[in-house]
Structure 1
């Protein structure tokens, strides 16, 4: 990404960093061993090629440990497809975390929740029947269904206003952004206590 758009983006990032010098990701002890994630996608969000952007946030024991936002490689034909591809990326990250935690001797002992705000994508994950409208995502569908059937992951629905991954995939209001930062564990170390 070069040109005026890149300059604008870099300028916005630098401006944000300048006004938030004390922001840090703080890890706390929450008293549970849950591994969970939030996944979201914007459908056809790119104005130039109409590709969607997927994003996920992963929490271990209530603390944010990994996050990613990435443009999808193909154009999605529906919002459900875009969300479903995002779910596949989220499941892959959860599996990596599960393997890492098992190697450390503290793997999860229950299915890991991957929160999604798209009921159609969740329905596709649970539906064992292949439909013509989902054939183009068949590989992702089989991958997700296999992990769902093995009870490694579960896909609880979350309302859009509680979807933390929105900050990675679309523009949100200042109040939602600041509220999300708090929920992600971002604290200002210079703020009075």
Structure 2
């Protein structure tokens, strides 16, 4: 990603300073919110939306609790609408309320791999594809996580869960090879 000149970054800086007085929210995205492309009003500033999502995307490396929300918002980089713009504001307000939170890496020598996986059947109203996610722990430390739209449409919630389990199994196998 190219760096911004001083003139290009000023709208972003002034936009972010407005969040200093805003109230924080308890979750990065409301669960009932279904992100999709529709014919509602366009985002007032698509360039600002793009800058915000690109910058927040880097936070998913140390803040896995925003991974799903950012995965949802990155799908609409080309043509964001007003609802996507409001959602990115919600993520910013959530981040404002969690300063200092991040990943904890324990010093205990546990080499036990533990994983959790889930999927949400037919989550995307545009493509009817499911979203899978997993978290992998090494002992009590989170070492790997992912939230991704599945490549194909699942015919049932069981099929979506099996696809999520297959993705998580590949991750466990990779972690096992890495540790071996």
Q: Which of 72, 76, 93 is 2:150 aligned to?
A: 72
Report the counterpart of residue 4 of structure 1 in structure 2: 82
**Higher relative contact order structure (alpha carbons within 8 Å, sequence separation ≥ 6):** 1
Give the deviation of 1:43 after TM superposition.
0.8
- After superposition, what is the alpha-carbon deviation per residue over 1:15-63, rounded to whole angstroms, capped at 9, x for unaligned? 1111111212111134532011101001111222221100000001221
Q: Is the 8 A contact 1:38 1:56 kept in 2?
A: yes
2: CA distance, partners of 1:9 / 1:97: 34
* Residue 48 (structure 1) aligned with residue 141 (structure 2): no
Q: Which of 113, 117, 122 is 1:35 aligned to?
A: 113
Q: Name the SS for the 1:59 alignment partner.
A: strand
* Residue 101 (structure 1) aligned with residue 172 (structure 2): no
Q: Relative to 1, partners in 2 of residues 1:27 and 1:94: Cα closer, same or farther, differing over 3 Å?
A: same
Report the counterpart of residue 85 of structure 1 in structure 2: 163
TM-score by length of 2: 0.53
Report the counterpart of residue 169 of structure 1 in structure 2: none
Q: Name the SS for the 2:142 alignment partner.
A: strand
Q: Is the 8 A contact 2:110 2:138 kept in 1?
A: no
Report the counterpart of residue 138 of structure 2 in structure 1: 60
Counting strand residues as a fraction of each chain, which structure ranks higher?
1
Q: Displaced runs of 4+ in structure 1, greater than 2 A?
A: 2-6, 29-32
Pairwise CA RMSD: 1.4
Structure 2: stretches of 5+ with no match in the other structure? 1-75
Aligned residue-pair number: 102
Give the deviation of 1:98 after TM superposition.
1.1
Structure 1: stretches of 5+ with no match in the other structure? 103-193
1: CA distance, partners of 2:173 / 2:86: 36
TM-score by length of 1: 0.50
Q: Is the 8 A contact 1:29 1:61 kept in 2?
A: no
